[in-house]
Amino acid sequence: MIALKLGVTADDVKNVIIWGNHSSTQYPDVNHAKVKLHGKEVGVYEALKDDSWLKGEFISTVQQRGAAVIKARKLSSAMSAAKAIADHVRDIWFGTPEGEFVSMGVISDGNSYGVPDDLLYSFPVVIKNKTWKFVEGLPINDFSREKMDLTAKELTEEKETAFEFLSSA
């Protein structure tokens, strides 16, 4: 979506973060994203100059993408999931390029972003020697904090529901 809006290829956009759950609370964050425009790398916010689109339509479209694929195809979005798996395998095998990170659902233990431990939560990670580690120290503004907390709350509730179900079975 960012690439289309700016008239570049997807390869020209990097470091977009998907925080949290794979659901309608996932938070696509471009605060740390870069785009190559006219041979120069600039921040996505600076390039787009459209705060309302980035905080509105962009987020809601990404959050509802899976449902939109299912509605349009009248079939599952399994190919989307398969592509994501292939991308993750590629990233684990080859690592992330210097200065770039990817978003990956990993165990939240030990993160520096205030996400509770024991959740599978999507974070920005770098991968080297087939090992991932959190990208540390990214500043988080109030808007992002609220979105990140909302998706963590949903995951915590889902985890509690699963444990309740398992303990009653």
Active site residues: 22
Helix spans in the chain (H): 2-6, 44-48, 51-55, 57-63, 65-73, 78-94, 142-168
Tokens of 22: 């794979």
3-class SS of residue 110: coil
CB contact at 8 A, 25 and 154: yes
List the beta bridge partners of residue 36: 41
- How far apart (Å, rounded) are the C-alpha atoms in residues 32 and 139? 9
Distances (CA, A) of 135 to 94, 103, 132: 17, 10, 9
CA–CA dist 151, 121 (Å, integer): 9
